[in-house]
Amino acid sequence: MTDANDNSFLALFLEPVGKYLADETVSEIMINGKDSVYIERGGKIEETDAKFVSENALRAAASNIARSVGRPLDEAHPRLNARLPDGSRVYAVLPPLSRIGTVMSIRRFSKEALTMERLLECGSLDDGMYRLLRGLVLARRNIVVSGATSSGKTSVLNALSSFIPEGERVIVIEDASELRLQQRHVVPLETRKADRNGQGETTMRDLIRSALRLRPDRIVIGEIRGGEALDLLQALNTGHAGSMSTIHANSPLDCLRRLETCALLSGIEIPLYALRAQVAGAVGAIVHTARLPDGSRKIASVAEVLPLDGGEYRVRELRAWRTESVSPDGKVRGGFAKIADPTFLAEAAAYGIEF
């Protein structure tokens, strides 16, 4: 097996897009078959003139990347989800699942750890939201970061984790490692696909159960996609306060419904009201991210989760971005507004936490 740390090996097979891999302003490279390559820069998608010499060359690049990180990619395993040596994430799909040839997406992450201070400088949040988020983490509220694809969920989760005090033991669970927590006492766990014989698979659900036996102070899950949501809800309702995760959703309220749907995918029968009570009891706050029409990314809303009302979810928006206008050149103008105070201000103040 080729050493997974051999960047020159990977660059050799990805030579047609090598200049974009080296360009720090490019956040994603999208290869749609041998003749079509797009990139994302500054939140905007651009078409390039890059091409691979043949479908075989592109297929070889994908296969060798898979081999270098020890994951299968062939007719029996036509999809790849892996992390490159530089921390980038690569996802590939082979024909016949793709009708245009091998498709590959390479999402790149800044070598510099993204902090809340940096997000503040970029205008992704304001001072009031910064203090609110810091207070939520220090108050050990369980937080779910929601948003659409490429809205910055993982970046915000990573930045939020910087508020976790040193001295706490944090277990991180991911499909493909992307998070870069700065604390000293971090235990990263990563799922594993089955081998060519269908053996050895380790799922998110397996790792959540393992994490509970590893004495975590907090659990951080890269993304909730399926039945592991139920295991996480049960963990959060029996301790491990201050845990965090992300999920695809269109709004804070939709985030709770998505968690419910994912928990139902566990295959374990549970009365709907009881499940909703678990969701509402487990999640303390939702941080919703958004990518605006001009490509900028914002923390669009921070909402507190309230107890159920007649079996229905309720959220209390605390702070949010409000768009005021969009100029002819597409530039979005607006600002952050305070909507309400958290309901647990007195409780937080008793522990010296100021919002």
When the pLDDT of each residue in the chain is averaged and rounded to a whole number, the result is 89
Q: What is the per-residue pLDDT across 18-36, written as a single tens digit (0 to 9) for each?
A: 889 888 889 899 999 999 9
User: Does one domain contain both 224 and 179?
Assistant: yes
pLDDT of residue 94: 96
Q: Which is nearest to 46 in space by CA: 66, 17, 69, 71?
A: 17
**At 48, which CATH number?**
3.30.450.90
- What percent of the chain has pLDDT above 90? 61
Domain's final residue, options 107, 133, 151: 107
Residue 1 lies in a domain: no
User: Does one domain contain both 65 and 187?
Assistant: no
Residue 78 lies in a domain: yes
User: Does one domain contain both 194 and 343?
Assistant: yes
Q: Note down the domain range covering 227.
A: 116-350
Residue 2 lies in a domain: no
User: Does one domain contain both 66 and 162?
Assistant: no
SS (H, E, C) 36-81: CEEEEECCEEEECCCCCCCHHHHHHHHHHHHHHCCCCCCCCCCEEE
pLDDT of residue 10: 57
User: Does one domain contain both 20 and 152?
Assistant: no
User: Does one domain contain both 130 and 251?
Assistant: yes
pLDDT of residue 43: 77
User: Does one domain contain both 309 and 265?
Assistant: yes
Residue 5, Cβ density class (10 Å: 0-12 exposed, 13-18 middle, ≥19 buried): exposed
Whole-angstrom Cα distance, residue 33 to residue 30? 9
Domain's final residue, options 107, 130, 165: 107
Residue 355 lies in a domain: no
**At 172, which CATH number?**
3.40.50.300
User: Does one domain contain both 135 and 159?
Assistant: yes
Q: What is the per-residue pLDDT across 259-279, written as a single tens digit (0 to 9) for each?
A: 999 999 998 989 999 999 999
Cβ neighbours of residue 112 closer than 8 Å, sequence gap 6 or more:
118
User: Does one domain contain both 288 and 206?
Assistant: yes
Lowest mean pLDDT among 161-165, 177-181, 187-191, 286-290: 177-181
Q: Whole-prediction pTM value?
A: 0.81
Quick check: 306 and 343 in contact, CB under 8 A? yes
pLDDT of residue 105: 94
User: Does one domain contain both 33 and 143?
Assistant: no
Count structural domains, the chain.
Answer: 2
Alpha carbon 132 to its chain centroid, in Å, reads: 21
